[in-house]
Structure 1
Amino acid sequence: MIPERKRKTKDPCPNCYLHRERCICESIPTLNLKTRLCLVVHAKELKRTTNTGRLAIKSLVNSEMRIRGVNSGNTQEALDLSDLLVPEYRTLLFYPSEDAVALTKDFIGEDPRPIQLIVPDGSWRQASKVHYRHHELKDVPRVMIKTPNTAVLHMRTETTPEGMATLEAIAQAMGIIEGDFVGQELMKLYNAKLENTLIGRGQLKKQDGQK
């Protein structure tokens, strides 16, 4: 696997977080879906230009971001997610815990309500805290993509066979929930982010005609 380079991107685009010469903002789709996405991201993750979850927020009209790990003085502000638990949505936590069930079309068909997908974003340790520290989510079903990730190139080193970048995982989930077109549009965006990131690291050659 390709190790993540530690050098920070200088003067990144404020929208896609790539070097301005490799900006992919023109590739960001606008998708207005029944499914609602809530990205729960750690504050430290927002400093990383390799973050892909924010691109999902920019693509999906019916989405929002909640930030964990915000320091206020010497203490960390608590984040309460209980207001997300509304009856008009079937709320699911997208996290590969031991009790997580496979996200499939059959599973989606068990409840007619639109889905609200809560997605932890950050390092494995940061994301796991949403799963076990937010007790307001204790009764929210956990779901995951159980098929192994066969991709050769990765944004960061993955620690499990099913490991994916956040946008990559959201693309697969939305493809199951909303249909192939939505999943493909989000995967195009993820691939653009991945390719231009690797080009910036010198780990992938720029193709003819590519910016």
Structure 2
Amino acid sequence: MSERVRCYDCHRPAAHCLCELITPIEHRTEILILQHPRERGHAFNTARIAEMALRNATVRVGHGAELGADDALAADLRGYGLLYPRPGALDLSQLAPVDRPEKLIVLDGTWHHARAMYRDIEPLQSLPHFTLPAGQVSGFRIRKQPKDYCLSTIEAIQSALACLEPDTQGLDTLLRPFEAMQTQHMAAMGTPTPRRRKPRPFKEKSPLPPELKDAYGSLVVTYAEMGPFREPGEPRLLLTFAALRPATGERMQRVIACPDQPEEMWAFLRLSQEERQQACSIEDLRAAWRAFRRPNDVMAAWSRSTLDVIGSHLPEQGPTLLLKAAYCNRRAERGCLEQIVVKENLLTADELERNQRELSRTDERLHNAAVMAALLHEIGLADPA
């Protein structure tokens, strides 16, 4: 079978080329689309249409871990805002003109990929966050969306630009090739039936690790911040370490002296000048950890990467426990820690925003992990013996 001829610009089959429907749009807001590699070759890649139509838009392709390891990326992202529906994100339609971002980042991928990219590209998490007006419904009829309000990339960009620069001419033409693409596909396939996932088979609730129920007093929740990736083979530097016994409130925290770190890194960690001046050596950290820990302690962390990082610097960590695995196996849910904290009503959106504003990044993340450990402890106590 011969391969169909494709347009080299829009990458659609030549018989369904969209180029004539794409109208160049001169706009002020600089748009950066961070695209997951699996979207680049997708038949319904709407970011490509946006890139062709918008004169001030660029696409950067890469896995989250790959982009997150790029030391130059943090500098490249300065001055940008991020379109991402995190609790506390500002509604673009409610901003005064002077408060509107001049540069905006949009993540392009499935919602699973977008969450993973947000998690893995840490510089994104410190950017101003923005969201679209509530009540919008996606017109993406040929690709299943998780929820009605989940928009395609091109729909999200069009909505954002309509909020930021409503006077810009031609924004209403941005979705024309998007609609034509869907019409073409529906005509070729007949009646459009959204792809539906098969229901998951019933699965018994996974029991929680016994430490969360019977040895909660020995649980030590930990969090560590690492420096950026360096040369291949060189370990990442440990910048901060914090540990908390949720049963008693006992706590230890240290900032590690790393004089070669750029000023932007310390600002990203939201550390005060006083905290930085009290930085200690790795040897001092190990001595403090030996004094803090007890023989029967179980070191808990949200993710495996945190435990691996800590283990490379604090070899005397003893038994370990993954809070993320315990939660996800029990609830059959997925998501980043902050999303789950909100979903479980452990903290309100206002509390999350206040913690991000008033606490250091290490304090904030340790607090989120600790409230999750407390939730799992309550679930364990409610389980029948």
Among candidates 160, 177, 181, match of residue 189 of structure 1: 177
Q: What is aligned with 1:31?
A: 25
Q: What is aligned with 2:148?
A: 161
Alpha-carbon offset, residue 13 of structure 1? 2.6
Contact 1:155 1:165 in 2 (8 A): no
Deviations 1:101-130 (A, max 9, x none): 2211x4152437x61110000111111123
Is 1:141 matched up with 2:128? yes
Is 1:85 matched up with 2:77? yes
Q: What is aligned with 1:18?
A: 12
Q: Helix, strand or coil: the match of 2:116?
A: helix
Q: What is aligned with 1:208?
A: none
Measure the CA separation in 1 of the matches of 2:158 and 2:59.
17
Give me the TM-score of the superposition, normalised by structure 1. 0.76
Among candidates 55, 58, 62, match of residue 64 of structure 1: 58
Q: What is aligned with 2:164?
A: 177
Q: Helix, strand or coil: the match of 1:196?
A: helix
Q: What is aligned with 2:373?
A: none
* Alpha-carbon distance change, 119 to 151 in structure 1, aligned in 2, over 3 angstroms: closer
Residue type at the aligned position of 2:81: L
Contact 1:145 1:173 in 2 (8 A): yes
Alpha-carbon offset, residue 133 of structure 1? 1.9
Q: Helix, strand or coil: the match of 1:39?
A: strand
Deviations 1:19-61 (A, max 9, x none): 2212111111112221111010011111211110111111111
Task: Indicate the structure whose relative CO is greater, using CA pairs within 8 Å and at least 6 residues apart.
Answer: 1
Give me the TM-score of the superposition, normalised by structure 2. 0.44
Matches within 5 A, 1:59-138: 59-69=53-63, 78-79=69-70, 81-86=73-78, 89=79, 91-104=80-93, 106-111=94-99, 115-138=102-125
Instruction: Tell me which structure has the larger Cα radius of gyration.
Output: 2
Which sections of structure 2, spanning at least 5 residues, go unmatched? 193-385
Alpha-carbon offset, residue 201 of structure 1? 2.6
Alpha-carbon offset, residue 79 of structure 1? 4.3
- How many residues get paired? 187
Measure the CA separation in 2 of the matches of 1:108 and 1:93.
17
Measure the CA separation in 1 of the matches of 2:96 and 2:9.
32
Deviations 1:61-91 (A, max 9, x none): 1111111129xxxx957445313334xx5x2
* Alpha-carbon distance change, 176 to 152 in structure 1, aligned in 2, over 3 angstroms: closer
Among candidates 34, 43, 49, match of residue 37 of structure 2: 43
* Alpha-carbon distance change, 115 to 203 in structure 1, aligned in 2, over 3 angstroms: farther
Aligned residues: percent identity?
A: 25
Superposition CA RMSD, Å: 2.6
Higher helix share: 2
Q: Helix, strand or coil: the match of 2:175?
A: helix
* Alpha-carbon distance change, 138 to 30 in structure 1, aligned in 2, over 3 angstroms: same
Contact 2:137 2:151 in 1 (8 A): no
* Alpha-carbon distance change, 28 to 152 in structure 1, aligned in 2, over 3 angstroms: closer
Residue type at the aligned position of 1:202: G
132-141 or 40-49: bigger deviation: 132-141
Contact 1:57 1:63 in 2 (8 A): yes
